[in-house]
């Protein structure tokens, strides 16, 4: 089911086109990675979704309703620039965040206690926020973003500043939300984390959407398959094959990048009779590599 | 509305538990005691004491009538206010007696020495020695009485009949009355008018600036702690600003409420133990109603302006500079106060009392001092309400953009663009 639909939004700040004709849609039960370098327009896009700033043109709908302030409570948002009220008690801070998202006070209190227990912070519930370490404040802010049980969760760099144990905890919770049928958008530039958890990838560069698709499709379409080959015999002809994009010869060991649309089978057919093969290994390119190649491509266009 | 209420609640709780709030709330009653009890106490101490007076009357014509006239003055206790002793001195002893008497004054054995030379008729010079010659009541009393004794004597010497002299030289007594709107008369003096009006106005000025600037500072804190975007994930900028303004306003009214309860208690106790203090702290319910109205309106106007300034500033220092024009427009009525007191119905004052940034203080001062026509008061309030709506509208527009801006402060043309946007 479609949760969010963004259609042709634009935003200009003085001389800079921060967001340029971006469209995408978000469905339930799916984790989306909103990826892009710093200054690509991710935060501006999210702020427009949250109705914090208005787009110059375009349309944003949540559950088929045009976005407005009354729909904010259906969304949980963890901004990249996070703050706290240092002098408030943890429990009061969470109740306050629940209240501004239309959660009744008593319910917010129960939920806050549950989540504090889950994140191992319950013993600090009556302490002031300023007494927490940076990492623990981060956990508190994360709880605050989904305390009101939203249908759509937008998390801007949710893993930054967390230790490995808590990164796993946050991942676990995100996957739980996915199972519950929530839609989740992770905005991040940490590609390896996105690769492990996202189902769908949307890449933005210089305000423009450059990529939008399920992770598998993206890796198939844009990822270049590398092949590592250990062999015996004269393999010099391999580098001359038309199906090879790029290769690196180390003597008895060859690293090959195949051309688009060519797979390992094609390569094997071409070399099987001519050399002895000791070992073949394929490797899909990472999101990071795809990202870098797309961003670099964008640069050469400009 | 639920969201605005959540913000109001948070603001209120945080402010009320702050040390500065508690200290100020407790400190003000102490100042109130000082203000209300001290003048009474001073007068009380003064009236309690008898004044010992030695008189050297070389003319032998002043002492008897002076003593007769002043013996009518009594203290609250019923004792005579002045204790006279006449010293008979030979002319050649004058200098030595004067110097020994002065020592008595310095040693506080007596309070006043009055030396009337033999030729007072022609020179019109009398010498008055005391530790405190600035006591206007005492010196003017003596001056008036001695003058009248001498002039009576001269008139009689000029052949006018004594009973006629008495009739002709009668003093005028000035009784001051204040006419209020309802036509009721109440005995009142300039000092009382000035005192209560100034205290009220000072409170207006002080609390508006304190709570307005308080909002500005708390917005800057929220900007530096980067909490703003988290709040905007649930509310919009207008709800956020409104919640802050109403929350701080509720804090200020709480503080007033505590002070008023205390003040009323003090007034009750004060009028019981120090009758004089009542004169200075007369509380008229109508005036008080106007005070609350002008405080609330003034607070709304200025807090919206301070909120806008806070939203475009990145540090307290920067905000202090940017809010300077606002602070000045609050100070101007205070500077003009003595001018307003002198002539509250002056055309300039009447015009200023209709201009929104001055009217909360100046119109309130006029209501207190001059009983301006009702239409003028209502017009002033009406203009003020329109101005508040307009200012809040503009402030909200600036706030909405400024609150998410970090780094440089926007220029005036940029601000105008935000407002038009």
B365 with B341, same domain: the answer is yes
Question: How far is A150 from chain B, CA to nearest CA, in Å?
Answer: 11
Q: Which of B115, B147, B173 is the last residue of a domain?
A: B173
Residues A120 and A170: beta-carbon distance below 8 Å = no
Question: How far is B34 from chain A, CA to nearest CA, in Å?
Answer: 35
> What's the pLDDT at A58?
92
Assigned domain for B126 exists: yes
Selection from B94, B66, B240, B51 nearest residue B153 by Cα: B66
Torsion on CA atoms B95, B97, B99, B105, rounded to nearest 10: -150
Q: Which fold has domain A2-214?
A: Rossmann fold (3.40.50)
> What's the pLDDT at B320?
87
Angstrom distance (rounded) from CA A290 to CA B7: 45
Top pLDDT among B135 and B103 is at B103
> What's the pLDDT at B158?
82
Name the residue facing B227 among A77, A85, A92 (closest C-beta): A85
Examine the pLDDT at B190 and tell me if it is beyond 60: no
Q: Which residue has the tokens 């690293």?
A: A255
B7 touches chain A (CB under 8 A): yes
We find that the CATH architecture of domain A224-283 is 2-Layer Sandwich (3.30)
B193 with B155, same domain: the answer is no
Examine the pLDDT at A222 and tell me if it is beyond 60: yes
B57 with B142, same domain: the answer is yes
Residue-wise pLDDT for A26-80, tens only, equals 999 999 999 888 888 899 999 999 998 889 999 999 988 999 888 999 999 999 8
The region that residue A8 occupies, defined by phi over 0 for left and psi between -120 and 50 for alpha, beta otherwise, is: left
Note whether B226 contacts A82, CB cutoff 8 Å. Answer: yes
Angstrom distance (rounded) from CA B59 to CA B120: 7
Examine the pLDDT at B43 and tell me if it is beyond 70: no
B/e letters for A66-81, b = 16+ CB within 10 Å, e = fewer, are: ebebebbbbbbbbbbe
B284 with B218, same domain: the answer is yes
Mutate to test the interface with A, among B21, B228, B230 (most CBs of A within 10 A): B230
Question: How far is A9 from chain B, CA to nearest CA, in Å?
Answer: 18
B55 touches chain A (CB under 8 A): no
Query: What average pLDDT does the structure give for chain A?
Result: 87
B230 with B94, same domain: the answer is no
Name the residue facing B236 among A69, A83, A97 (closest C-beta): A69
Question: How far is B333 from chain A, CA to nearest CA, in Å?
Answer: 37
B94 touches chain A (CB under 8 A): no
Find the domain containing B360 and state its range: 2-42+188-420
Cβ neighbour number for residue B94 with a 10 Å cutoff: 15
What is the CATH number for B81? 3.40.190.10
Note whether A52 contacts B10, CB cutoff 8 Å. Answer: no
> What's the pLDDT at A257?
81
In which band, very low, low, confident or very high, does the pLDDT at B182 lie, cut at 50, 70 and 90?
A: very low
Q: What is the largest CA-CA distance in chain A?
A: 77
Name the residue facing A72 among B2, B226, B233 (closest C-beta): B233
Per CB-CB distance under 8 Å, the chain B contacts of A11 are none
User: Which B residues, 184 through 243, put their C-beta within 8 Å of a C-beta on chain A?
Assistant: 222, 225-236, 239
Residue-wise pLDDT for A163-192, tens only, equals 888 888 999 999 999 999 999 999 987 777
Angstrom distance (rounded) from CA A253 to CA A93: 60
Angstrom distance (rounded) from CA B228 to CA B352: 38
Q: How far apart are the first and last CA of chain B?
A: 26
Cβ neighbour number for residue A18 with a 10 Å cutoff: 21
Q: What sign results for the dihedral spanned by CA atoms B342, B344, B350, B352? A: positive
B318 with B341, same domain: the answer is yes
* Mean pLDDT to the nearest integer, B110-115: 86
Mutate to test the interface with A, among B234, B241, B399, B400 (most CBs of A within 10 A): B234
Per CB-CB distance under 8 Å, the chain A contacts of B404 are 47, 52-53
Examine the pLDDT at A144 and tell me if it is beyond 90: yes
> What's the pLDDT at A302?
34
Per CB-CB distance under 8 Å, the chain B contacts of A129 are none
Q: Which residue of B has its CA nearest to A89?
A: B14
Mutate to test the interface with A, among B229, B247, B397, B418 (most CBs of A within 10 A): B229
Examine the pLDDT at B262 and tell me if it is beyond 60: yes
B411 touches chain A (CB under 8 A): no
Angstrom distance (rounded) from CA B192 to CA B178: 11
Question: Alpha helices of B86-235 — where are they, by DSSP H?
Answer: 94-106, 120-123, 136-157, 162-168, 190-224, 228-232
B195 with B295, same domain: the answer is yes
ipTM (interface pTM): 0.81
Local structure of residue B171 (DSSP, 8 states): P
Assigned domain for B149 exists: yes
Whether the model pTM is above 0.80: no
Angstrom distance (rounded) from CA A242 to CA A261: 12
> What's the pLDDT at B131?
80
In which band, very low, low, confident or very high, does the pLDDT at B303 lie, cut at 50, 70 and 90?
A: very high
Examine the pLDDT at B184 and tell me if it is beyond 70: no
Angstrom distance (rounded) from CA A143 to CA A155: 11
Examine the pLDDT at B268 and tell me if it is beyond 50: yes
In which band, very low, low, confident or very high, does the pLDDT at B180 lie, cut at 50, 70 and 90?
A: low
A77 touches chain B (CB under 8 A): yes
B222 with B258, same domain: the answer is yes
Top pLDDT among B115 and B370 is at B115
* Mean pLDDT to the nearest integer, A118-132: 93
> What's the pLDDT at A237?
85
Residue-wise pLDDT for B10-28, tens only, equals 999 988 888 888 888 888 7
* Mean pLDDT to the nearest integer, B396-404: 85
Assigned domain for B143 exists: yes
Angstrom distance (rounded) from CA B206 to CA A60: 47
Angstrom distance (rounded) from CA A153 to CA A167: 17
Q: What is the full DSSP assignment across B90-102?
A: -GGGHHHHHHHHH
Residues A3 and A28: beta-carbon distance below 8 Å = yes
Note whether A101 contacts B234, CB cutoff 8 Å. Answer: yes
């Amino acid at each position: 089911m479609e949760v969010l639909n963004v259609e042709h939004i634009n935003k200009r700040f003085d001389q800079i086109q921060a967001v340029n004709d971006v469209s995408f849609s978000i469905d339930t039960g799916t984790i989306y990675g909103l990826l892009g370098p710093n200054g690509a327009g991710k935060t501006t896009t999210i702020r427009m979704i949250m109705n914090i700033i208005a787009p110059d043109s375009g349309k944003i709908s949540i559950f088929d309703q045009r976005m407005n302030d009354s729909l904010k409570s259906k969304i949980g948002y963890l901004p990249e620039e996070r703050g706290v009220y240092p002098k408030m008690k943890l429990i009061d801070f969470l109740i306050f965040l629940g209240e501004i998202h239309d959660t009744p006070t008593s319910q917010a209190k129960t939920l806050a206690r549950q989540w504090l227990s889950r994140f191992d912070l319950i013993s600090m519930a009556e302490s002031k926020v300023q007494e927490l370490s940076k990492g623990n404040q981060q956990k508190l802010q994360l709880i605050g973003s989904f305390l009101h049980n939203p249908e759509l969760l937008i998390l801007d760099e949710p893993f930054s500043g967390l230790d490995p144990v808590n990164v796993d905890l946050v991942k676990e919770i995100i996957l739980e939300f996915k199972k519950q049928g929530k839609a989740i958008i992770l905005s991040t530039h940490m590609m390896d984390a996105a690769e492990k958890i996202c189902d769908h990838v949307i890449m933005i560069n210089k305000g423009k959407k450059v990529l939008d698709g399920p992770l598998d499709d993206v890796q198939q379409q844009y990822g270049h398959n590398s092949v590592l080959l250990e062999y015996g015999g004269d393999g010099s002809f391999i580098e001359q094959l038309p199906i090879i994009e790029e290769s690196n010869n180390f003597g008895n060991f060859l690293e090959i990048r195949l051309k688009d649309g060519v797979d390992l089978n094609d390569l094997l057919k071409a070399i099987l009779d001519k050399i002895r093969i000791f070992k073949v290994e394929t490797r899909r390119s990472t999101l990071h590599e795809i990202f870098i190649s797309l961003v670099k491509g964008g640069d050469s266009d400009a | 509305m639920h969201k605005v209420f959540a913000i109001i609640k948070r603001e209120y709780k945080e402010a009320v538990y702050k040390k500065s709030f508690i200290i100020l709330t407790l400190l003000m009653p102490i100042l109130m005691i000082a203000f209300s009890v001290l003048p009474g106490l001073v007068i009380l101490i003064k009236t309690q004491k008898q004044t010992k007076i030695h008189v050297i009357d070389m003319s032998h014509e002043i002492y008897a009538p002076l003593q007769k006239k002043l013996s009518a003055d009594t203290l609250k206790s019923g004792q005579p206010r002045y204790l006279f002793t006449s010293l008979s001195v030979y002319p050649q002893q004058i200098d030595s007696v004067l110097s020994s008497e002065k020592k008595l004054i310095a040693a506080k054995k007596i309070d006043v020495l009055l030396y009337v030379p033999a030729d007072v008729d022609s020179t019109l010079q009398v010498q008055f020695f005391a530790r405190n010659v600035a006591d206007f009541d005492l010196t003017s009393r003596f001056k008036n009485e001695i003058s009248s004794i001498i002039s009576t004597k001269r008139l009689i010497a000029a052949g006018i009949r004594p009973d006629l002299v008495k009739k002709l030289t009668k003093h005028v007594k000035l009784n001051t009355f204040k006419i209020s709107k309802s036509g009721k008369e109440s005995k009142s003096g300039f000092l009382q008018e000035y005192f209560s009006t100034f205290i009220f106005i000072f409170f207006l000025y002080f609390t508006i600036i304190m709570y307005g600037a308080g909002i500005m500072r708390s917005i800057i804190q929220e900007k530096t702690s980067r909490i703003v975007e988290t709040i905007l994930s649930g509310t919009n900028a207008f709800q956020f600003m409104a919640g802050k303004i109403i929350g701080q306003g509720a804090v200020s009214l709480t503080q007033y409420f505590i002070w008023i309860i205390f003040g009323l208690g003090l007034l009750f106790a004060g009028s019981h133990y120090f009758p004089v203090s009542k004169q200075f702290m007369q509380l008229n319910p109508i005036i008080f109603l106007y005070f609350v109205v002008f405080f609330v309106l003034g607070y709304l106007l200025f807090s919206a302006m301070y909120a806008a300034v806070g939203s475009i500033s990145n540090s307290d220092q920067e905000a202090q500079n940017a809010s300077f024009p606002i602070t000045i427009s609050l100070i101007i009525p205070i500077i003009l106060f003595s001018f307003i007191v002198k002539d509250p119905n002056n055309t300039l004052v009447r015009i200023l009392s209709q201009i929104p940034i001055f009217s909360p203080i100046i119109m309130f001062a006029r209501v207190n001092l001059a009983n301006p026509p009702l239409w003028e008061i209502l017009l002033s309030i009406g203009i003020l309400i329109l101005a508040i709506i307009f200012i809040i509208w503009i402030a909200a527009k600036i706030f909405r953009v400024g609150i998410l801006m970090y780094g440089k402060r926007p220029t005036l043309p940029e601000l105008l663009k935000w407002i038009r946007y």
